[in-house]
Amino acid sequence: MQTFLPPRVDPVAPLSRRAAGRVGAPSLVTWAVVLAGALGSAYLIDRSPIAAVGFVIACGIFLGFLPRPAATGVALAALVPITSGLRRGFPVPGLRVSEALIVVGAVIVLLRVPAGRARPKWTALDWSVAAFTLGGPAIELLDVVTSGRALSGSSLQTVAGPVQFLLLYRVIAVSLTGSGAARNAQRALLLASFPVSLLAIAESLGPAAIHNVLVSWTGTTVFNTNGYTPVPRAASLFPIWLSLAGYLLVPLLLAIALLIAGDTAVLPRWVLITAIVCGFGALVASLTITVFAAAVAGALFLGWRYRRLFRTVAVTCAVGVAAALPFGALLMQRATAQHQSTTQTGNPYVPQTIAYRVQIWQDQYLPALHGHWATGYGPTYPPNITWAHTESGYITLLLRGGIPYLAITAVMLWFVISNASFGALVATTPERRALCEAAMALALLQPLINLTFPYLTDGGLPQPLWVVIGLLAAGNAAPSQALAKSAFDENAVYRREALA
């Protein structure tokens, strides 16, 4: 009788005393957080017991995310964009909630990057992003030093503002290289847009109490300025409706790309359709025509890229009409106000907002830039400026870094477009290609929408945009498994169809 013996299993080598002593031992970061929690709660307990409890809870959440960099990246993708409009100092003193989250995420993710050969190499896209986020502030500081002007605290915050975009980009790019983590980040970014859209619709159609609560959260004073807006416009969790519109553009185009691609791995079709309808409704409530036109143009571009242009036109028209129906009276008020204002300016063919911007540029900003085209004017406004709003992304970049900063921005956008175009060709999954197509559309639309507002540097659009660009870089850094699989594999078939 033949007997079958189990395969030989070598015994596990025992751990050395030194290695065994390190198993489960708290790290220095853990001890530092525990000590900070104890000292911080002791300091806050007499001043605000609620703040002390909140600080301890925050330290506990930090320790929970510390060994999970991918979960940290997903959390930042969901929370940073929707908290970027909350007022500074609420509830973190001196910081916005989004800035505090980015700093914590950078500590968790970027400080644990392996050294040596395992360290991820920087690509051309990484260097272009670094040039945009660090080169501009460097030019600002250079102009301040050479001119002998002093820097105030608010000016330093303006200079350091783009650095948070670099940290957010690197956290996403480093922590979400796995396909599952990237899918979760896309899902989190889209689901987080629902409360923002619903609050904007409720603010526009609901009672005034909703608007008052949102104003207290954002700390904005734009609604109290006499004559600034003759028609009420929704801003949701952002200090101004333009920032809301810029934020909505990112999840809208991502959801449209996923829907056209027929992908259900990120979210079901009905959830994507609901996100698009709610997003368009909130965009209409903001009454921002430039971004609305950009969203329609982006949807048509995605339909053309997927060779489904006719179907996309029909669906876009249906969704636009459905989203605009509840706001018919508001749209008529906006059109009437624009017509009356253009009649006063003497040019009935140019909208009032465009005519007013052109007047500000000609009378104030272009003369102020004379002699400062090389380095700009730093983080402060020139002394002869009476309207401290550039009303254009181009003017903002010229003021902060002159023509070199404008050129750096163009190079950065070109690298995003080229990486997204190549990534769409070699994508092995529908959600990866949808992400690349959405990133390409967003980068192509920046020269258009930045004509009338500094979307790239103001709050609202940059945070979700850098999440998408970070996911684009994370996918480029991930090892391609499709090349090692059979040509008959489903991923290889999809890749061949994408290339065709």
Cis check: omega of the bond before 69, within 30 degrees of 0: no
| C-alpha torsion angle, residues 131, 133, 139, 140 (rounded to 10) | 180
- Angstrom distance (rounded) from CA 246 to CA 231: 19
Give residue limits of the domains in the chain: 116-499
Q: What is the DSSP string of 135-174?
A: IHHHHHHHHHHHHT----HHHHHHHHTTHHHHHHHHHHHH
Give the residue from 346, 329, 331, 389 showing the smallest Cα distance to 364: 389
- Angstrom distance (rounded) from CA 325 to CA 331: 10
Tokens encoding 462: 């940059």
CB count, 10 Å around CB of 441? Answer: 25
- Name residues whose C-beta falls within 8 Å of residue 314's C-beta, 6 or more positions apart in sequence: none
- What are the distances in angstroms from CA 95 to CA 73, 87, 99, 305? 20, 9, 6, 41
Runs of H (alpha helix) within 262-327? 269-286, 289-305, 309-324
Tokens encoding 105: 């995420």
- Angstrom distance (rounded) from CA 460 to CA 218: 12
CA angle 401, 407, 409 (to 5 degrees): 80
- Angstrom distance (rounded) from CA 106 to CA 435: 23
Runs of H (alpha helix) within 427-461? 430-449
- Angstrom distance (rounded) from CA 376 to CA 367: 12
**pLDDT per position in the chain (500 positions), as tens?**
455 455 554 454 454 444 443 434 456 667 676 776 676 667 667 666 666 676 677 777 777 777 788 999 999 999 999 999 998 877 667 778 898 899 888 888 887 755 555 566 889 999 999 999 998 888 888 877 777 777 777 777 788 889 999 999 999 999 998 889 999 999 999 999 999 999 999 998 888 899 889 988 998 888 876 555 556 788 999 999 999 999 999 999 999 999 999 888 999 999 999 999 999 999 989 988 899 999 999 999 999 999 988 888 888 788 777 777 776 666 666 666 655 554 445 556 666 777 788 888 888 888 888 888 888 887 888 888 888 888 899 999 998 888 999 999 999 999 999 999 999 999 989 999 999 999 999 999 999 999 989 999 888 999 999 999 999 999 876 654 443 333 334 444 444 444 44
Exposed, middle or buried by CB within 10 Å (0-12, 13-18, 19+), for 389?
middle
Tokens encoding 32: 């530092």
pLDDT of residue 493: 40
- Angstrom distance (rounded) from CA 463 to CA 173: 14
Runs of H (alpha helix) within 376-426? 393-426
Q: Are 167 and 102 in contact (CB under 8 A)?
A: yes
